[in-house]
Structure 1
Amino acid sequence: MTLTSRKTGLAGLATLGVSALLLAGCSAAPTGTNTTKAASNFLPCMVSDSGGFDDHSFNEIGLQGLQAAAKSLGVKEKHVESNTNDDYAPNIDSLLGQGCNLIVTVGFLLSSATDAAAKANPDVKFAIVDDGLDNEGATGKDGKPTGDGKVDVANGKPILFDTAQAAFLAGYAAASYSKTGVVGTFGGIQIPPVTIFMDGFVEGVQYFDKVKSKSVKVVGWDVTSQTGVFTGGFAAGVEAKTAAQGLLDQNADVIMPVGGPIYQSAAEAIKDKKNGTVMIGVDADVYNTDKSVRDILLTSVQKRVDSGVEAVVKAAASGDFNNTPYVGTLKNDGVGLAPFHDYASKVDSNLSKEIADIKAKIISGDIKVTSAATPK
């Protein structure tokens, strides 16, 4: 087995580019996968991005999916955590050296390292969360992805999510709950897996305004110009708290931070404000993963990375692996809106029914949710 060579400048986002998620022929979530054919020595493995497996977000739930699949198959698993972008290629190499049959990489930032490893090791299966593996993508002058939409490695499978659909529901809920008439969102890094949330959120607010004849303002992201507030990374810290504070200063009383642990700093800013502002989580149902923010959590936009990873691992173990993208949607329950939990009695009494009706219309196609980053 040949270990992949580390690509020059992996740590720089410029070398990563922006992979297009506009993919043709995407598959629905696999169901009823036959795992009886799984070899007892099948070894599924995973590499996190720099957010780590304790991010209460997509790395953590991705690992849960890997572990659930391994338990169901009766096999062991291996996983390794990345601390910086420089760790991606070496971590993949380490797992290759340990005989992994399938390596799942978690996050768009691992695109370059995953693509290189898959090409250098055609006998090993790879899957990546949030990247299309379409010639590693590219970015045009407008900042939009310009990849060709075709998975360029036979042994690589994208695991993608149309989170704009679920974020649309969150935007509608945010607009309904807002007392100030201003809601906001900000992101970690301006890449498609982040902006797809923000696009859907804004469109959901706009839909609320249309059907309710209201005028709720969104700060932090402009869909038309694709410009907004970003921290430059996914770590909690001063940058994330400052970004959240900027939205609060514009009178936003519902905020959706998009980018793993950055929500923790947004929560600090909200609690410092003590004015009744609430937060919307992303990826996991943050109510279940982080009890410390329950008191300010309205709901969460769920990207069920665990379900996608589990399905892909089981398919690979049973010999059903292919490079057709897995795409999570509202229809196949790959994305969704979490319950309102402690805020169930505080939202409008008709909101849950309205959300259910909107969800049904999105699934049927009566409501179109669009984003430059939507998987197709």
Structure 2
Amino acid sequence: MKTRTPHRPTAGETVRQLAAELWEAVSAADEYAATDVVLHALDDGVAPESVLLDVIASVQGKVGEEWAANRLTVAQEHAATAINERAVAALSVHPAARTTPDRGRVTVACVDGEWHALPARLLAEVFKLRGWHVDYLGAQVPAPHLIAHLHRTDTDVVALSSSIAARLPTAHAAITACQAVGVPVLAGGAAFGPDGRYARLLGADAWAPDARAAADRLARTPLPRPQPDHQPIDDLPHLDDQEYTMVSHSRTTLVRTVFTALEDAFPAMRTYSEAQRERTAEDLSHIVEFLATALYLGDEDLFTRFITWTAQILTARGVPARSLPPALSILTRELKDFPRATRTLQHGIDALTPDRRTTAGKSA
């Protein structure tokens, strides 16, 4: 009589099961269960880096997806993120995750205004596991504070994190400031684009798509320090037209003007509750902010991606996305003297109204 060999789960099956268990704990807002999942995984010999990136980071990605689909409220998303942060903290003090630094020193910081700190925290922990001495500065680090820290430490590289593209002008200032004091910058996070295009545009010394790739990049070859005669890059040439500055500085006025005119262009808005009106004003503020960022980077596609994403978010929440084209049209009218801005807005309108664009093309 033959006996069957018990099935031993593969590494992939193990992390998928752990991610499912962690998701169950996180979605139930049970931080004790969440930390138990992580600690038991480490006790069972699962590599700490895999727990960080294949389990915790994977679950955090699902948190974002569920929020975007309106299956998690903002409060639930914040609670889930906080629990994942506690899980990372529990992992960081487990004996399996303790290492002796033997590589060098890296400072990990979020761009000023960037409050999505978990990606940076995951990166910091991966660097620790790889043998780096890590100074983790957390969320929303103003450039002067970052530079003051670099003056006090012998940092080999700054790992700069940003998830929101609207923070890229600030990231540019931080990159330039770090290089001016002789410290190279490794950029990462969704804000810099899936292919790192904005990291290159803003002069970062290197870019990585995720924490594992970032650690691998520094393991291959150290980033050279900028030379003493290094000249920080000047403003991007297209900024000479001052459109970014004018739109950015006029943000409050533009939002107020568009909000008022939108009541006539989109009559349904007159029936909005006070809470709905507040959210509409917030959405308009984000639209102007991302328009300004697109002008700063000279990239119309960035705004188009943002506005189509906004339409998807509104639709998931039962809010009519058809209010967006009228809002963009009003904004176009207000910025009629700014050719780059009006062209960028028109691309956004076209993306939201493909049927009209197709019809116009046929009639031409």
Scaled by the length of structure 2, the TM-score of the pair is 0.29
Which structure is richer in relative contact order (CA contacts within 8 A, separation 6 or more)?
A: 1
Q: Which has the larger radius of gyration?
A: 2
Q: Which has the higher strand share?
A: 1
Q: Which has the higher helix share?
A: 2
